[in-house]
Structure 1
Amino acid sequence: MRFNVFKNTVLLFVLVMISCANLSKSEAKTKNTEVTKKDEILKQVQDDSSIVVGANQIEKYLPLLKDKRVGVVANQSSLIEKQIASSLEASRNNKYTHLVDSLLSLKVNISIVLSPEHGFRGTADAGEKVKDGIDSKTGLPIVSLYGDNKKPKLEQIKETKKYESDINKGIMQIDVMVFDLQDVGARFYTYISTLHYVMEACAEANIPLIILDRPNPNGHYIDGPILEMEHTSFVGMHPIPVVHGMTIGEYAKMINGEKWLKNNVQCALTVIPVKHYTHNTNYNLPIKPSPNLPNDKAINLYPSLCFFEGTNVSIGRGTNKQFQVVGSPYYYLKRHTYEFTPEPNEGAKHPKHQDKACHGYDLSNEKSLNSLNLKWLIEFYKANKQYAPNEKFFNAFFTKLAGTKKLQQQIEAGLNEYEIKATWKEGLETFKQTREKYLIYE
């Protein structure tokens, strides 16, 4: 009897200990889950705030706008990140606000908004002429820098007189200009050409320019032929390679320092740098910078695929994979397993090869590029020559994009990618030395 009691007591003790152990494990598991979740949340917050764009550092530039009449160069990419919500379940859909809306809410006196290619709301086709107008949300006058003039006119920004137009009959005078556009780091992406003309106009009118800097998503490499000055155009204004590896702020410093503005004038320039950024920092854009660059993959492929704009090959305008697919209706090869048919859509009202089946590649799953890829261009040229010799492959726009006639000549002569790139080496080394003087970031 006494043994049975002892045995039962021991058994009860063991069961209690097991129960406690299980409870401890359960509590520990719950606690670890909570810690992990908290760490994930903290990590997410840290990730979100690791890069702080110039526009989000309001405390640095707001004093420069106080009691000033302000002009703003902006488009749909000119966003400010709102403060991270205290609620962990807060939606991320309403995370951003537009720079112009933010400045107006802070009682900044904005006199005029100037918009680049694609317009203030970013819906116009590439190359489409954009008209002046009135912003329906704010009532502000919008002056297009991709319409009748690509450079701000003196009467639009400085002279104290009536600026007569359909959009406004008031004084259009400013004391300071703010520039906030999301560039993608390619010479033929026209926002840096707009930057040139805005700087030139500000210098001539003695108006200071504040650049709210943003990361360059293709800032991790430098590549391509150097533009030859006899081939300057709005898709290439300066003697730089196709991929320059600089932010807008750094590039503005180079324009000033190299005296590329007309008559060697220089702009009074202030750059609000990006926090926690290096040229090798991966940066995911919160919104597409133009209608046909819908995601990070398209942006990464853009410098390599844009050459096709000067050929008879489509790069997916008129599809939902712009700058991620490449194809032609003129020939079909077994290895060209992908097919797409361009149709009118936002940003491509009349796409190349509209309603025609194009055969080629889907590149949306390609590894990220760290250099220009010429292999696709060379392959399509050879296929066109073999299977559609009566179809002209290159057009006049190709030389403007390349910034030189040599690239087309090299491809037609049968040089491979490595042989062509070898001819760029000297020019790239010289550019890198020049670039070094204007860098803000490592």
Structure 2
Amino acid sequence: MGGFSRRRLLAAGALAVPALTAAGSAAAETEQPDGRTDADTAQSGVRTGAEVLAAQGWQRLAGRRVGVVSNPTGVLRDETHIVDAMVAAGHAPVAVFGPEHGFRGTAQAGGSEGSAPDPRTGIIVYDAYGANRDALAAMFRKAGVELVVFDIADVGARFYTYVWTMYTAMQACAATGAGFLVLDRPNPIGGRASGPQLDPAYASGVGRKPVVQQHGMTVGELAGLFQGEFLPSDGGRVSTVDVARVRGWRRDELRTDLPWVPPSPNMPTQDTALAYVGTCLFEGTSLSEGRGTTRPFETIGAPGIDWRWAERLNGMALPGVRFREAYFAPTFSKFQGVTCGGVQLYRTDDGSFDAIRTAVAMIVTARAGYPGVFGWRSDNWIDRLTGSDRLRRMVDAGAGVDEIVGAWQAELAAFRRQRAPYLIYR
């Protein structure tokens, strides 16, 4: 697995122990039966990696030229952004790097804020969205960055672009010699891996490496996977990777007491995220995925769809979900201002709900029941989202839900084995 082990990740969880590096090792903390470490016994609730550093006065950053990759989700429990907290504590970063939607979150899907001084702090914000390794490395060099701090809340889906911004940032660190520090956060859809694995021939901005659709990892764990499995053959490892781990959280824990900050404009709630890892596939179809409604990715439909779709789906008795006949007129995106018929998803049990299997069932029944309405986007975007053309070909050939889901079980099992050494949390 190449020099980056679970033991080192555990050791890097507390900043009181030696840093996690690609070449070194350190002793792991003692975990208790509830998944906490010794340092957690006097604490209550879940604490993010950012809160661990803030409680220490950000001393881990003292004397270093720090660049921060973040967006509006990079907040402490009191909703103060980490950059603002660093400035207040006297450890102002030399630069900030904004992903899709921007550092302060003013841009819509597929957009960014550009490069300019941050109005609040005066710190230069560089536009990192879409930047490749060389372009981002040039930004790091221009700012004189010695340590890159990454703090963005992910939603657990391979096609959510923030994890690939992190990958590019790690590549840029490897090119410039900068260190990399992840301020870890819980995965809001849990630790279960599910779905098809990306075929490298279909790599894009919504999936660059062979990761399954629902990876079930935190960004800190993904950083370990990237460092150990993908970077060695893709420009080289980062000299030093450190993970400030989450405290008081188990990987099977979906609900925490942390505030929910929408990581993008169409991710208003955690409920959205739990559906998104599956229903985002409707971006690749002619149906609306609910953008422009108050329940994006939970409300799906198109003109010409009626009550029979909900009846058909409910008749399948899919675990953990029910469907309501719904009518809506999106305010933007597909079918703007046009009344659509469709369904709204209602999860009845988080533990048994399988967003990807549910989405496959929805696609199969929509194509069968509404052949004049359902279609694929002309650019075959569905192939980018699922990581290959397999799902599209199987649906078009009339395959059933079990056959389609069964087609990726072997690669899913292999991914679970591959990720195992990099998992930090019980």
TM-score range, shorter chain: 0.7 to 0.9
Alignment counterpart, residue 221 of structure 1, candidates 183, 192, 199: 192
Write the letter of the residue equivalent to 1:75: N
Q: What is the CA–CA distance in structure 1 between the aligned matches of 2:406 and 2:345, rounded to whole Å?
A: 26
Contact 1:211 1:249 in 2 (8 A): yes
Q: What is the CA-CA distance between 1:289 and the residue it aligns to?
A: 1.3
Q: Name the structure 2 match of 1:282.
A: 254
Instruction: List per-residue Cα deviations over 1:318-360 (Å, max 9, x = no partner).
Output: 111111100011443545531100113xxxxxx1111111110
243 and 392 in structure 1: CA distance in 2 versus 1, 3 angstrom threshold: closer
Alignment counterpart, residue 337 of structure 2, candidates 344, 355, 373: 355
Residue identity over aligned pairs, in percent, reads 32
Determine if the alignment matches structure 1 residue 178 to structure 2 residue 164. no
Matches within 5 A, 1:33-432: 49-58=44-53, 59=55, 62-81=58-77, 95-146=78-129, 152-159=135-142, 172-260=143-231, 263-267=234-238, 268-284=240-256, 285-335=259-309, 337-344=325-332, 351-364=333-346, 366-368=348-350, 369-372=353-356, 373=358, 374-385=360-371, 387-388=372-373, 395-432=379-416
Q: What is the CA–CA distance in structure 1 between the aligned matches of 2:130 and 2:355, rounded to whole Å?
A: 33
Contact 2:103 2:113 in 1 (8 A): no
Contact 2:94 2:145 in 1 (8 A): yes
Contact 1:200 1:261 in 2 (8 A): no
Q: Which has the higher contact order (CA 8 A, sep 6+)?
A: 2
Q: What is the CA–CA distance in structure 2 between the aligned matches of 1:128 and 1:380, rounded to whole Å?
A: 30
Q: What is the CA-CA distance between 1:113 and the residue it aligns to?
A: 0.5
Write the letter of the residue equivalent to 1:97: T
| Unaligned stretches of 5+ residues in structure 2 | 1-40, 311-324
Q: What is the CA-CA distance between 1:155 and the residue it aligns to?
A: 3.2
Q: What is the CA-CA distance between 1:67 and the residue it aligns to?
A: 1.3
Q: What is the CA-CA distance between 1:383 and the residue it aligns to?
A: 2.8
Q: What is the CA-CA distance between 1:128 and the residue it aligns to?
A: 2.2
Q: What is the CA-CA distance between 1:367 and the residue it aligns to?
A: 3.9
187 and 61 in structure 1: CA distance in 2 versus 1, 3 angstrom threshold: farther
Q: What is the CA-CA distance between 1:392 and the residue it aligns to?
A: 5.2
Give me the TM-score of the superposition, normalised by structure 2. 0.80
Contact 2:46 2:249 in 1 (8 A): yes
124 and 143 in structure 1: CA distance in 2 versus 1, 3 angstrom threshold: same
Q: What is the CA–CA distance in structure 2 between the aligned matches of 1:180 and 1:388, rounded to whole Å?
A: 41
Q: What is the CA–CA distance in structure 2 between the aligned matches of 1:184 and 1:297, rounded to whole Å?
A: 11
Q: What is the CA-CA distance between 1:286 and the residue it aligns to?
A: 2.1
Q: Name the structure 2 match of 1:166.
A: none
Matched residue SS, 2:181: strand
Q: What is the CA–CA distance in structure 2 between the aligned matches of 1:261 and 1:356, rounded to whole Å?
A: 50
Q: What is the CA–CA distance in structure 2 between the aligned matches of 1:291 and 1:370, rounded to whole Å?
A: 24
Q: What is the CA–CA distance in structure 1 between the aligned matches of 2:390 and 2:345, rounded to whole Å?
A: 27
Contact 1:200 1:262 in 2 (8 A): no
Contact 2:133 2:171 in 1 (8 A): no
Instruction: Say how many residue pairs are matched.
Output: 364
151 and 118 in structure 1: CA distance in 2 versus 1, 3 angstrom threshold: farther
Q: What is the CA-CA distance between 1:316 and the residue it aligns to?
A: 1.1
388 and 314 in structure 1: CA distance in 2 versus 1, 3 angstrom threshold: closer
231 and 303 in structure 1: CA distance in 2 versus 1, 3 angstrom threshold: same
Contact 2:286 2:377 in 1 (8 A): yes
Q: What is the CA-CA distance between 1:153 and the residue it aligns to?
A: 3.0
394 and 410 in structure 1: CA distance in 2 versus 1, 3 angstrom threshold: farther
Runs of 4+ in 1 over 6 A off after TM superposition: none
Q: Name the structure 2 match of 1:11.
A: none
Q: What is the CA-CA distance between 1:124 and the residue it aligns to?
A: 1.6
Q: What is the CA-CA distance between 1:147 and the residue it aligns to?
A: 5.1
Q: Which has the larger radius of gyration?
A: 1
Q: What is the CA–CA distance in structure 2 between the aligned matches of 1:136 and 1:364, rounded to whole Å?
A: 41
274 and 192 in structure 1: CA distance in 2 versus 1, 3 angstrom threshold: same
Q: What is the CA-CA distance between 1:238 and the residue it aligns to?
A: 1.0
Instruction: List per-residue Cα deviations over 1:117-151 (Å, max 9, x = no partner).
Output: 11112232211254112211111111111156576
Matched residue SS, 1:211: strand
Q: What is the CA-CA distance between 1:157 and the residue it aligns to?
A: 1.3
Write the letter of the residue equivalent to 1:221: R
Q: What is the CA–CA distance in structure 2 between the aligned matches of 1:239 and 1:246, rounded to whole Å?
A: 14
Superposed CA RMSD: 2.3
